Amino acid sequence: MHTTAAQVLASAVPSQQTAKLLREIAAGRHLTTLALSEVGGRSQFWAPLSELRTHEKGFTYQAEKSWVTAAGNADSYISCARVPGAASALESVLLLVERRTEGVRVTGRFEGLGLRGNGSAPVSLDAVQLSADALLTPMGEGASALVGQVLPWFCVGTAAMSNGLCQAAVEATARHLQQAGFAQTGTHLRELPNLRARLAQMSVRSEQARALLGAALSGFNPPAPAPLLPLLQSRLSSIEAALEVCDLAMKACGGAAFSRHLPVERIFRDARAGWVMAPTVDHLQDFIGRLLTGLPLL
């Protein structure tokens, strides 16, 4: 999230504020994140419900963000709102909101399945006052920035995360099969062909997803426009691989996998988060189909 948000700042309309933040980010003194999804908007992060209001000194921003990673810890949020008087949700602009701005408040905590360490929480932006320097894109070009800047980096990061979960599951399962066994015979679980077959399936599926990400990255050369189709395909493949691989890990490791004696149960939980992270698997399938048939992405 930090990397994706930082790339938005790096590509933003230049201002003294963004230049200062980029120097602080480069020095490791500033954590930024995305604050896009809104209450009522579900996972359609590209279609904000909130709308900027103009006043004599700038803008007023009112929004309820439903899912902000590192909320309360990040120093700034990259957000999105409709432009004043927008005719549709795609007429939007990206914004920079600093955490200590009056009206910014974390309103809950994340108590969900998996990814317990990510600190995701809802954030309320209550009549936040913003200057023109807070605008990161020209008016009406927020959706283009979401597709051209946010989506490629987010696909790369979340695909890599899912690939890492696959690798962790393979390593934990292989280690368990080598170490655990039957006291009555002195044999190990690795001597059972059905368990070796499951581990082999896990390994092959993991490497398939990893290879697709590698192929997608070969054409990803920022700041040049990213080839979006292979990045979307890679994200979809990696998410599905994580679910398949972790399910096989639970089966291969048996009862031990359900306890915290092994890390498998946590990996199994964490792998499920990718399925519902916007763009969700359903969105990814639709996006890929749209690109393959010549339709606009949004």
The domain that holds 77 is classified in CATH as 2.40.110.10
- For residues 181 and 127, state if they share a domain: no
Indicate the SS3 state at residue 137. coil
Q: Which domain does 179 fall in, by range?
A: 144-292
Where among 140, 156, 184 does a domain terminate? 140
At residue 72 the predicted structure's pLDDT band, cuts being 50, 70 and 90, is confident
Predicted structure pTM score? 0.91
The answer to whether residue 92 sits within a structural domain is yes
CA-closest candidate to residue 73, choices 117, 110, 119, 105: 119
- Report the half-sphere exposure of 139 (CA within 13 A, side-chain side): 11
Considering its fold, how many domains does the chain have in total? 2
| Residue in the structure block whose two tokens are 């490497």 | 207
CA-closest candidate to residue 146, choices 91, 108, 201: 91
**92-98: strand order across its sheet:** 32-35, 76-82, 92-98
- Residues paired with residue 38 on neighbouring β-strands, in sequence order: 65
Angle of helix 228-253 versus helix 151-179 axis, rounded to 10 = 20
- For residues 72 and 156, state if they share a domain: no
At residue 290 the predicted structure's pLDDT band, cuts being 50, 70 and 90, is very high
Instruction: Note the pLDDT tens digit of each residue in 50-69.
Output: 999 998 889 999 999 998 99
Task: Determine the Cα–Cα distance for residues 91 and 126; give it in Å rounded to an integer.
Answer: 22
For residue 13, pLDDT over 90 is answered with: no
Where among 140, 157, 184 does a domain terminate? 140
- For residues 265 and 179, state if they share a domain: yes
